[in-house]
Copies of this chain bind each other. A is one copy, B any other.
Amino acid sequence: MIIVMKPNPSREVVQGMVERVEKMGLKAHVIEGTERTVIAAVGDDRKGNKAVFESYEEVEKVMPILAPYKIASVETKPESTVIKVRDLVIGGGTVGVIAGPCSVESEEQVMETARQVKAAGAKGLRGGAFKPRTSPYSFQGMKEEGLKLLAAAREETGLAIVTEVMTPHHVELVAAYTDVLQIGARNMQNYHLLQAVGEVRKPILLKRGASASMDEFLLAAEYILDQGNQEVALCERGIRTFETHTRFTLPLASVPYLKARTHLPIVIDPSHGTGVASLVTPMCRAAVAAGADGLIIEVHPDPKNAASDGAQSLTPEVFAAAMEQCRKVANALDLNM
């Protein structure tokens, strides 16, 4: 941690800072510059001590040296984490594809989608049984009945099931049916929920919050990892910006950025990342080219009659065409898909 003092601090103030730094178990180096005095506090500064120094009136700013996450870091574990569940592989040179409807609506809808996305190359089936909806007047999901339909689709197709859990006391129920538990963007900082899924021994797909910084995203993963669950995939699903022509802005540079800092695999969600069906296929191709370890895509047999997210759902035909294009890109870059 680097503590920059305001101009011309008194000797006593600097001495007080040094003592405070040392009381924290860090080592202090004082550097007198021409315009500023700087105190470098050496040691593990992840414990939130930054705010302590920011609260001193004599301090101009405090700059951390280390990233605030630890278990998620490549420095802690250099080898990449690969998620494997049934035939779904995410990472390690394989692009795993999860596809399916936003909401589970009926047996027929789930079964038909499952068969078609499997035929097109998906290895995972997504589908919401518990739905977080912005409006209390929107469809809230089929709940446990939806989970049963997903399990039945797995029975038939062998696809790994990916579904969202929204609150800690549902974790056990959802985990009983699903292969991968999804934490939605709106719950990325729902810490009780993160801790609850940290105790499960199934992989977690953690979606980035719409305005979460990269450090906040990795710290949310850290909450899960810290409970002992090491199978976390990070999902970039777009951030909120001034841009309104898409529902969210999908920053694909997150892929190489994250890969340089964490061993966790990175999945891209181009459906929520754009919110517009016609933009999904090009963004799928781009995600694969950027190095993503997986894709999660909304597919609905009849988007016009979908209970939710129809505007961003692909038809099974368009999805199949997108997969073919993505495979070409993957092959060109020596990736499995």
Contact A244 to B244, CB < 8 A, known contacts A35-B44, A250-B251, A289-B285: yes
Residue from B43, B135, B168, B242 in contact with A213 in the complex, judged by beta carbons closer than 8 Å: B242
B35 pairs with A286, CB closer than 8 A:
no
Residues of B within 8 A of A40 (CB): 2, 31, 38, 40
A282 pairs with B273, CB closer than 8 A:
no
The complex places the Cα of A117 from the Cα of B132 at a distance, in Å, of: 39
The complex places the Cα of A55 from the Cα of B259 at a distance, in Å, of: 19
A42 pairs with B51, CB closer than 8 A:
no
Residues of B within 8 A of A329 (CB): 289, 329, 332-333
A166 pairs with B137, CB closer than 8 A:
no
B311 pairs with A282, CB closer than 8 A:
no
Residues of B within 8 A of A135 (CB): 46, 48, 68-69, 219, 222
Kindly provide the distance from the CB of A56 to the nearest chain B CB, expressed in whole angstroms: 6
Interface residues of A in 251-270 (CB under 8 A from B): 251-253, 255-257, 260
Tally A residues with Cβ within 8 Å of B: 106
The complex places the Cα of A138 from the Cα of B332 at a distance, in Å, of: 42
Tell me if A116 is interfacial: C-beta within 8 Å of chain B: no
A190 pairs with B187, CB closer than 8 A:
yes
Residues of B within 8 A of A309 (CB): 51
The complex places the Cα of A257 from the Cα of B209 at a distance, in Å, of: 24
Interface residues of A in 156-173 (CB under 8 A from B): 166-169
Residue from B63, B276, B286 in contact with A63 in the complex, judged by beta carbons closer than 8 Å: B63
Binding site for B on A (CB under 8 A): 2, 4, 7, 29, 31-36, 38, 40, 42-44, 46-48, 51-52, 54-56, 63, 65-66, 68-69, 75, 132-139, 166-169, 186-187, 189-193, 209-211, 213-216, 219, 222-223, 226, 239-246, 249-253, 255-257, 260, 273-274, 276-279, 282-283, 285-291, 303-306, 308-311, 313, 325, 328-329, 331-333
Given contacts A48-B137, A252-B286, 10 further A-B contacts (CB under 8 A): A2-B38, A31-B42, A35-B44, A55-B303, A68-B137, A166-B192, A169-B169, A249-B249, A250-B252, A283-B290
7 residue pairs, one from A and one from B, having the closest CB atoms: A211-B211, A55-B310, A54-B311, A289-B289, A332-B332, A186-B189, A285-B289
| Interface pairs (23), CB distance under 8 Å | A2-B65, A29-B31, A35-B66, A35-B75, A38-B42, A54-B310, A55-B277, A68-B135, A132-B191, A135-B219, A166-B191, A167-B192, A168-B169, A187-B190, A239-B241, A239-B242, A252-B282, A253-B283, A256-B279, A256-B282, A282-B291, A283-B290, A329-B329
